[in-house]
């Protein structure tokens, strides 16, 4: 058998500050991945591919690599030229605005991703993408919200919650035993029932409403302020191209909003502090320079100019 591990870091046991404690986070991340590898090998899985899906895909230490274990950086480098008998998704977090640990959906500037009108996160996107490749996802581990999402559209796969926003400490060794046990049970499932279909349209809403309009000018399909993809597969296949476009758009937003705020500082001098703090301006300016949109800028100028 050939097992595939798609790994993310936010739902890994013992991860609290991976941005400022990189080296320790790499060790903790790798240690948990080794738990899954050993559990697979104990169950007779001859070949294992590990894909580090977090950011640049360089957080899992290469010490896991052996003759039978391969390490791939990021999902766009994952090849499906050979068959994976099953996949597990480990260390995942909940979608943005969910009550999870490090909740977000791919990036800080994605507000929501919808399937059939329901907000989903990275878990559902990836299980459908893998399903389209004929790969059953038999197990999802991570924080409470990620495991909840893993069963929302498909109740047959196994899940294992090892993190919760409401729990302050981790007993790593006890949780590693739990993970090894759930790997054992997941491999007894009917894999065919764990394959997700990928026939639904994906709608992406951004934190800055102007982003969709600017992406539509680049050829992306836009409707009702959202960017549309025919399926999760199309979304994943275009994800890194989309991110490149969004990085350029974000640079534009920061530039235009920096210039706008300089204008506001000049205009605001003719108004009292109390007048500004009690007006709509204070609320509109609470957002950051990435997310202040054109409509808000026009509204602020209208208020400062005395228009209703």
Instruction: Report DSSP state, residue 95.
Output: P
| Cα 287 to the center of its chain, rounded Å | 21
**Which pLDDT tens digit goes with each residue over 180-218?**
999 999 999 999 999 999 999 999 999 999 999 999 999
pLDDT in tens, the chain (308 residues): 999 999 999 999 999 888 889 999 999 999 999 999 999 999 999 999 999 999 999 999 999 999 999 999 999 999 999 899 999 999 999 999 888 889 999 999 999 999 999 999 999 999 999 999 999 999 999 999 999 999 999 999 999 999 998 887 789 999 999 999 999 999 999 999 999 999 999 999 999 999 999 999 999 999 999 999 999 999 999 999 999 999 999 999 999 999 999 999 888 888 777 877 788 888 888 889 999 999 999 999 988 885 54
Is the CB of residue 75 less than 8 Å from the CB of residue 128? no
- Distance between CA atoms of 164 and 205, rounded to whole angstroms? 26
Separation of alpha carbons 88 and 91, rounded Å: 10
pTM for the complete prediction?
A: 0.93
The verdict on domain 2-107+118-194 having CATH code 3.40.50.10780 is: yes
Domain ranges (residues) in the chain = 2-107+118-194, 202-304
CA distances from 174 to 112, 152, 180, 296 (A): 35, 27, 10, 50
Q: Of 89, 92, 90, nearest to 130 (Cα)?
A: 89
Contact 158, 63 (CB under 8 A): no
d(CA 159, CA 141) in angstroms, rounded, equals: 6
55-71 pLDDT, tens digit per residue, is: 999 999 999 999 999 99
């Amino acid at each position: 058998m050939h097992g595939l591990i798609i790994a993310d870091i936010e739902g890994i046991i013992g991860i609290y500050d991976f941005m400022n404690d990189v080296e320790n986070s790499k060790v903790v991340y790798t240690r948990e991945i080794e738990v899954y590898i050993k559990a697979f090998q104990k169950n007779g899985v001859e070949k294992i591919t590990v894909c580090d899906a977090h950011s640049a895909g360089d957080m899992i230490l290469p010490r896991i690599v052996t003759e039978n274990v391969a390490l791939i950086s990021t999902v766009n480098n994952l090849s499906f030229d050979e068959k994976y008998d099953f996949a597990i998704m480990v260390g995942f977090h909940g979608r943005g605005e969910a009550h999870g640990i490090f909740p977000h959906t791919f990036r800080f500037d994605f507000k929501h991703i919808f399937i059939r009108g329901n907000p989903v996160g990275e878990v559902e996107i990836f299980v459908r993408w893998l399903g389209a490749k004929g790969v059953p996802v038999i197990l999802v581990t991570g924080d409470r919200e990620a495991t909840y999402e893993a069963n929302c559209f498909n109740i047959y796969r196994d899940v294992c919650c090892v993190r919760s926003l409401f729990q302050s400490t981790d007993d790593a060794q006890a949780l590693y035993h739990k993970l090894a046990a759930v790997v054992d049970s997941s491999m007894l499932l009917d894999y065919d029932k764990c394959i997700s279909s990928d026939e639904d349209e994906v709608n992406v809403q951004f934190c800055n409403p102007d982003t969709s309009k600017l992406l539509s000018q680049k050829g992306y399909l836009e409707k009702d302020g959202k960017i549309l993809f025919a399926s999760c597969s199309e979304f994943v296949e275009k994800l890194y191209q989309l991110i490149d476009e969004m990085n350029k758009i974000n640079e534009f937003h920061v530039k235009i909003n920096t210039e706008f705020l300089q204008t506001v500082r000049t205009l605001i001098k003719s108004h009292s502090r109390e007048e500004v703090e009690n007006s709509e301006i204070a609320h509109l300016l609470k957002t950051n320079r990435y997310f202040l949109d054109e409509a808000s800028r026009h509204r602020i100028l209208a208020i400062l100019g005395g228009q209703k």
